[in-house]
Structure 1
Amino acid sequence: MTHPTPSHADISSTPDISPTHWADLLAVAEMAIEQAGNIIRPLFRSALVTEEKKDLSPVTLADQGAEQAIRRCLTHYFPHYGLIGEEQGTLATESRFYWVVDPLDGTRAFITGRPTFGTLIALLDHGTPILGIINQPMTNERWIGIKGQPTRFSSPFGGQAKTRACSKIDEAELSCTSPEMLELAPTPFWPKLAKRVKRVSWGGDCYGYGLLSLGLIDLVAECDMKIWDWAALVPIIEGAGGYITDWAGQPLSHNSNGTVLAAGAKNLHEEAVSILSHSG
Structure 2
Amino acid sequence: MDDAQDIIATAHDMADAARAAILPLFRSAGLAADNKYTKGFDPVTEADRAAERAMREVLAERRPNDSILGEEYGRTEGSSGLTWILDPIDGTRAFICGAPSWGVLIGLSDGSDIIYGIIDQPYIGERFEGGLGVSRLVSAAGERPLAVRQGVDLANATLMTTFPEVGTEAEAAAFKRVSQQVRLTRYGLDCYAYALLALGQIDLVIEAGLQSYDIAGPMAVVQAAGGIVTDWQGGPVLEGGQVVAAASPLLHKAALELLNG
TM-score, scaled relative to structure 1: 0.87
1:46 and 2:13 matched: no
Deviation at 1:243, TM superposition (A): 0.7
Deviation at 1:156, TM superposition (A): 2.5
- State the match for 1:32 in structure 2: 14
Question: Which of 53, 68, 71 is the equivalent residue of 1:83?
Answer: 68
CA distance in structure 1 between the partners assigned to 2:166 and 2:177 by the alignment:
16
Relative to structure 1, is the Cα distance of residues 32 and 66 closer, same or farther in structure 2, using a 3 angstrom cutoff? Answer: same
CA distance in structure 1 between the partners assigned to 2:125 and 2:238 by the alignment:
30
1:253 and 2:238 matched: yes
Contact 1:184–1:224 (Cα < 8 Å) also in 2: no
- State the match for 2:188 in structure 1: 203
Contact 1:185–1:223 (Cα < 8 Å) also in 2: no
Relative to structure 1, is the Cα distance of residues 105 and 150 closer, same or farther in structure 2, using a 3 angstrom cutoff? Answer: same
- State the match for 1:140 in structure 2: 125
Aligned partner letter, 1:266: P
1:126 and 2:103 matched: no
Relative to structure 1, is the Cα distance of residues 52 and 71 closer, same or farther in structure 2, using a 3 angstrom cutoff? Answer: same
- State the match for 1:167 in structure 2: 152
Aligned partner letter, 2:136: R
CA distance in structure 2 between the partners assigned to 1:112 and 1:188 by the alignment:
28
Contact 1:243–1:269 (Cα < 8 Å) also in 2: yes
CA distance in structure 1 between the partners assigned to 2:52 and 2:170 by the alignment:
29
- State the match for 2:101 in structure 1: 116
Structure 1 unaligned regions, length at least 5: 1-16
- State the match for 2:246 in structure 1: 263
CA distance in structure 2 between the partners assigned to 1:200 and 1:156 by the alignment:
29
Contact 2:215–2:238 (Cα < 8 Å) also in 1: no
Question: Which 4+ runs in 1 deviate beyond 3 A?
Answer: 157-160, 184-188
CA distance in structure 1 between the partners assigned to 2:69 and 2:227 by the alignment:
26
CA distance in structure 2 between the partners assigned to 1:114 and 1:77 by the alignment:
33
1:154 and 2:166 matched: no
TM-score, scaled relative to structure 2: 0.93
Contact 2:90–2:105 (Cα < 8 Å) also in 1: yes
Deviation at 1:171, TM superposition (A): 0.3
Partner deviation per Cα, 1:156-193 (whole Å, 9 max, x = no partner):
34654111114310100000001234237657311110
Name the SS of the counterpart of 1:163 in structure 2.
coil
Relative to structure 1, is the Cα distance of residues 151 and 82 closer, same or farther in structure 2, using a 3 angstrom cutoff? Answer: same
Name the SS of the counterpart of 1:231 in structure 2.
helix
- State the match for 1:64 in structure 2: 49
Deviation at 1:41, TM superposition (A): 0.8
CA distance in structure 2 between the partners assigned to 1:185 and 1:96 by the alignment:
37
- State the match for 2:259 in structure 1: 276
Aligned partner letter, 1:50: A
Deviation at 1:26, TM superposition (A): 1.0
Relative to structure 1, is the Cα distance of residues 84 and 225 closer, same or farther in structure 2, using a 3 angstrom cutoff? Answer: same
CA distance in structure 2 between the partners assigned to 1:44 and 1:186 by the alignment:
33
CA distance in structure 2 between the partners assigned to 1:75 and 1:184 by the alignment:
43
CA distance in structure 1 between the partners assigned to 2:77 and 2:68 by the alignment:
7
Structure 2 unaligned regions, length at least 5: none
Bigger CA drift: 159-168 or 131-140?
159-168
Report how many aligned residue pairs link the two structures. Answer: 257
> For residues 214-225 of structure 1, what are the structure 2 equivalents within 5 Å?
214-225=199-210
1:98 and 2:83 matched: yes
CA distance in structure 2 between the partners assigned to 1:264 and 1:91 by the alignment:
34
